């Protein structure tokens, strides 16, 4: 649509074909993609839309709203109630991250002052109780299970009864998974459900399983009354389109998404943020929260240095730390509009390792080397060899760090013309936005500028980010 001067029916059809291909590649069910195309077409009436930019925006909005609508099953998720036992039963295939999700769920509500506990009713998988026990101990959550009892229904019943007597408020029952959808699995689930009478059945879905998501979700929904969905493994390159399929098949809302193996890698599901990232539009709200959570919105000393065009190796070290505080690089990049594709498969891991390697090298430098602006000039082969030996790296890696530092320094020297305030504000942006934008374009790495769509893309990005300090991201392409 950006390249077309006239937005007509043919343009819209071509755009919808592209969106359909992207959604299929993101693991959205074929029938749902077909329904989306039809519904978006129904929402767009070109005769009623104004010409130019407004049409583009309205069409983009129609696609966005339709996807949000598809992720809304029309019913609110179950909300645990304080002061009474809430039995939550987890179901899913083996390997979906079910046991880890149980612990994350328990910890999430434990932090909200609920009395939470775990029951291991998985007698099929060897080591299931050991895993739950280890997780629960680490998270300091009470747990129940048995090494000798082989009947999962009895274990579930006994565990739930015990915790009810103890006054626990959220009792999570972890059930067996299988490699395939076997009849015995569903039968066992139904028996456990009948015994413990859960208030909510949570279906845990591996986001990387692709087009199989719809059929799997539907099979579980037919067997037990699934009330909520948790999507796991969204830290990798799974696009998460299976979420649309899961909601459509179970007619149940997604409550949480798992974005990593750590207990804190667990987010409450926000429809609009998720769709925005799915479409590669970024998630400015999520980005702002990540910046605030990492304490990066208050850095007066850094802003003062940037306004003077001053940048040292110690500043670069701190910026690497700041970026890493915000979480995995691919997750941060997906929040910045237009940059979701910058981190190709395996690249985010490579960049993370690179950051850590450079930080280790800087740990072996003296204060003089870290705090002077002329580090590159004072570096001799002898100094480089000393730093390499002290950090356990090759001298070539030290020279690579210094080259990277020169690139950063060059970028920062241009930033003094932006007249950045002590709180990161840019008064020039309101007084003379065109000049400020041109100056910002000069400061950015050319690869990054190209990735976000040139100067017009930068303008849209700055408008949506409402003046977020871009210095945090200027070197993130690794």
Q: What is the DSSP string of 342-364?
A: SS-TTHHHHHHHHHHHHHHHHHT
Instruction: State pLDDT tens for residues 258-288.
Output: 887 888 888 888 888 777 777 666 555 565 5
Residue 166 has a pLDDT of 95
Closest CA to 221 of 197, 194, 189, 198: 189
Residue 476 has a pLDDT of 46
Count of H-run helices and E-run strands, the chain: 23, 8
Instruction: State pLDDT tens for residues 121-178.
Output: 999 888 899 999 999 999 999 999 999 999 999 999 999 999 999 999 999 999 998 7
pTM of the predicted structure, to 2 decimals = 0.65
Residue 17 has a pLDDT of 85
Beta bridge partners of 280: none
Q: Pick out the chain residues at pLDDT < 70.
A: 1-7, 46-56, 179-181, 235-240, 279-307, 325-349, 414-478
Residue-by-residue DSSP string for 264-322: T-EEE--HHHHHHHHTT---HHHHHHHHHHTTTT--HHHHHHHHHT---HHHHHHHHHH
Q: Which residues contact 19 (CB under 8 A, 6 or more apart)?
A: 36, 37, 40, 63
């Amino acid at each position: 649509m950006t390249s077309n001067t006239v937005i007509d029916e043919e343009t819209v059809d071509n755009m919808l074909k592209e969106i359909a291909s992207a959604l299929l590649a993101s693991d959205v069910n074929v029938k749902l993609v077909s329904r989306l195309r039809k519904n978006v077409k129904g929402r767009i009436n070109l005769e009623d839309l104004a010409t130019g930019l407004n049409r583009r925006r309205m069409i983009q909005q129609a696609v966005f709203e339709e996807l949000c609508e598809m992720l809304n099953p029309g019913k609110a998720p179950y909300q645990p109630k304080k002061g009474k036992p809430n039995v939550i039963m987890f179901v899913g295939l083996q390997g979906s991250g079910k046991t880890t999700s149980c612990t994350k769920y328990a910890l999430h509500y434990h932090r909200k002052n609920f009395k939470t506990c775990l029951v291991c009713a998985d007698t099929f998988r060897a080591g299931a109780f050991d895993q739950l026990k280890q997780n629960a101990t680490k998270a300091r959550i009470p747990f129940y299970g048995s090494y000798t009892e082989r009947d999962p229904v009895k274990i579930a019943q006994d565990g739930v009864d015990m915790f009810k007597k103890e006054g626990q408020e959220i009792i999570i029952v972890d059930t067996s998974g299988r490699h395939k959808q076997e009849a015995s699995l569903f039968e066992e689930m139904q028996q456990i459900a009948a015994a413990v009478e859960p208030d909510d059945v949570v279906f845990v879905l591996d986001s990387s399983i692709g087009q199989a998501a719809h059929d799997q979700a539907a099979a579980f929904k037919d067997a037990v009354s699934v009330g909520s969905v948790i999507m796991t493994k969204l830290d990798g390159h799974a696009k998460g389109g299976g979420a649309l399929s899961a909601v459509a098949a179970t007619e149940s809302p997604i409550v949480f998404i798992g974005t990593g193996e750590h207990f804190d890698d667990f987010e409450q599901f926000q429809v609009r943020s998720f769709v925005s990232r799915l479409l590669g539009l970024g998630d400015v709200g999520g980005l702002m929260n990540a910046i605030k959570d990492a304490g990066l919105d208050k850095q007066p000393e850094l802003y003062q240095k940037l306004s003077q065009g001053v940048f040292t190796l110690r500043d670069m070290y701190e910026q690497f730390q700041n970026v890493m505080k915000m979480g995995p690089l691919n997750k941060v990049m997906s929040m910045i509009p237009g940059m979701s594709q910058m981190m190709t498969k395996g690249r985010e891991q490579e960049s993370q390792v690179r950051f850590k390697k450079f930080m280790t090298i800087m740990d072996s430098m003296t204060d003089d080397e870290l705090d002077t602006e002329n580090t590159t000039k004072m570096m001799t082969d002898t100094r480089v060899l000393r730093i390499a030996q002290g950090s356990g790296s090759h001298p070539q890696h030290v020279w690579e760090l210094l080259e990277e530092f020169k690139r950063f320094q060059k970028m920062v020297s241009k930033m003094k013309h932006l007249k950045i305030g002590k709180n990161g504000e840019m008064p020039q942006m309101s007084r003379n936005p065109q000049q400020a934008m041109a100056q910002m374009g000069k400061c950015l790495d050319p690869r990054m500028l190209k990735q976000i769509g040139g100067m017009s893309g930068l303008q849209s990005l700055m408008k949506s980010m409402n003046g977020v300090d871009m210095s945090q991201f200027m070197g993130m392409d690794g």
